[in-house]
Amino acid sequence: MKIAIFGAGYVGLVQAAVLADAGHSLVCVDVDAEKVENLNKGIIPIYEPQLEPLVKEGIALGRLQFSCNAEDAIGNCEIIFIAVGTPPDDDGSADLQYVLAVAETIALHMNGYKIVVNKSTVPVGTADKVHHRIRTGLDKRNVDYDFDVVSNPEFLKEGDAVNDCKRPDRIIIGTTSVKAEDTMRELYAPFNRNHDKVLLMGVRSAELTKYAANCMLATKISFMNEMANLAERLGADIEEVRLGIGSDSRIGYSFIYPGAGYGGSCFPKDVRALIRTAQSLDYPSRILDAVDSVNDRQKQRLLELIDQHYSESGTSGRLAAKVFAVWGLSFKPQTDDVREATSRVVIEGLWHRGAKVQAYDPEAMEEIQRIYGSRDDLRLCGTKEAALEGADALIICTEWKHFWAPDFDQLHDKLGDRAIFDGRNIYDPHKIKELGFAYYGIGRGLSVSRDGGL
> With contact defined as beta carbons under 8 Å apart, do 398 and 361 qualify?
yes
Whether 28 is catalytic is: no
Catalytic residue among 77, 165, 215, 266: 266
Catalytic residues: 266
